[in-house]
């Protein structure tokens, strides 16, 4: 039922806004069943990269390729179905129930009166998978931060996308809810063989759960690889302008960043 090996790539990708080129000549190749954490200083282009991968922004040159095809050549509907994008502040009516909010994405025109028994079962299974069965009749306004984020993830998954892009999915959640969201994403990547990219501010969390870490600096890739290869004192200095020690996380054995001080601006 879920996808066989998909591939998301960026080829000489440049993109930005009318006044400014933000992303400069990026090369990426991301395989299915993986989580990539995107890290970098404020303004380094992380959100712009996600928006370009989701075709919310058109590249000024180069291309985003999904399974060998430029996404600019596939229909808008297919892009929406195959590449789910969860923005930092997704819009949701606070009076809508979790069930209705998630179901709405599974039918055309958001008309949930047309939800077939089969789709209803699929939505129920998805809510169950995201730990939302008990919350399904609560309204969005009644949810805790963690439940709300899991509802947004469930809604993004309803079309069974190949790619899930998340902009800061754990920011503003407490530790328990951060882990809840991270554990959900980690099991989904295996179960659904998805390509997951997430902008993460917490470097230690990123190092723990991501298969690959991509560091952006001024719209370019500063480093790309396993956390242990790229989360280094020199990359922390380059990317964040900080002096940092990097030690081993005693539990996960992944790199753990101890920021010491800001470096003098070069
Ligand atoms: P990050 O997510 O790493 O903080 P962004 O991708 O949001 O970085 O921003 C990168 C650059 O693009 C910044 O200089 C920012 O001011 C600019 N930018 C972001 N969004 C817009 C926009 N909608 N219009 C014009 N410039 C933008």
CATH of the domain at 79: 3.40.50.300
- The answer to whether the CB of 259 is under 6 A from ligand 1 is no
Q: Which domain holds residue 141?
A: 7-262
For the segment 76-101, what is each residue's pLDDT rounded down to a tens digit?
999 999 999 999 888 888 899 999 99
Average pLDDT estimate for 189-216: 95
- The answer to whether the CB of 44 is under 6 A from ligand 1 is yes
- Flag whether 2 is in a domain: no
At residue 4, the pLDDT reads: 75
For the segment 240-249, what is each residue's pLDDT rounded down to a tens digit?
999 999 999 9
- Flag whether 1 is in a domain: no
- The answer to whether the CB of 240 is under 6 A from ligand 1 is no
CB 144 within 8 A of CB 138: no
Coil, strand or helix: which one is 37? strand
For the segment 42-66, what is each residue's pLDDT rounded down to a tens digit?
999 999 999 999 999 999 999 999 9
At residue 105, the pLDDT reads: 78
Measured distance CA(13)–CA(7) in Å, rounded: 16
**pTM for the model:** 0.94
Tokens linked to 247:
């030690």
For the segment 216-229, what is each residue's pLDDT rounded down to a tens digit?
999 999 999 999 99
Q: Which ligand 1 atom sits nearest the alpha carbon of residue 45?
A: 6
Measured distance CA(246)–CA(255) in Å, rounded: 6
Query: Can you give 92-158 as a three-state secondary structure string?
Result: CCCCCEHHHHHHHCCCHHHCHHHCCHHHHHHHHHHHHHCCCCCCCCCEHHHCCHHHHHHHHHHHHHC
Of all protein residues, the one whose alpha carbon is nearest to atom 27 of ligand 1 is 17
- The answer to whether the CB of 50 is under 6 A from ligand 1 is no
pLDDT band with cut points at 50, 70 and 90 for residue 202: very high
At residue 61, the pLDDT reads: 96
Q: Specify the number of domains making up the chain.
A: 1
Mutate to test the pocket of ligand 1, among 16, 23, 47 (most ligand atoms within 8 A of CB): 47
């Amino acid at each position: 039922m879920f996808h066989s090996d998909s591939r998301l790539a960026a080829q000489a990708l440049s993109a930005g806004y009318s006044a400014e080129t933000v992303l400069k000549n990026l090369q990426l190749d991301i395989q299915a069943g993986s989580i990539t954490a995107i890290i970098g200083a404020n303004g380094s282009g992380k959100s712009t990269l996600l928006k370009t991968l989701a075709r919310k922004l058109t590249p000024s040159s180069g291309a985003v390729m999904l399974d060998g095809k430029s996404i600019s050549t596939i229909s808008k509907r297919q892009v929406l179905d195959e590449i789910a994008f969860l923005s930092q502040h997704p819009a949701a009516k606070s009076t809508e129930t979790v069930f209705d909010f998630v179901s709405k994405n599974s039918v055309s025109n958001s008309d949930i009166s047309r939800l077939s028994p089969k789709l209803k079962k699929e939505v129920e299974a998805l809510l169950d998978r995201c730990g939302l069965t008990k919350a399904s009749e609560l309204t969005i306004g009644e949810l805790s931060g963690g439940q709300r984020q899991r509802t947004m993830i469930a809604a993004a998954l309803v079309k069974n996308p190949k790619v899930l892009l998340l902009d800061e999915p754990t920011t503003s959640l407490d530790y328990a809810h951060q882990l809840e969201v991270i554990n959900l994403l980690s099991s989904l990547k295996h179960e659904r063989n998805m390509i997951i990219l997430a902008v993460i501010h917490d470097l230690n969390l990123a190092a723990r759960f991501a298969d690959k870490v991509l560091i952006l600096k001024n719209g370019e890739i500063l480093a790309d690889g396993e956390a242990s290869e790229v989360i280094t004192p020199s990359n922390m200095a380059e990317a964040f302008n900080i002096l940092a020690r990097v030690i081993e996380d005693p539990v996960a054995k992944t790199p753990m960043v101890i920021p010491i001080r800001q470096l003098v601006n070069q």
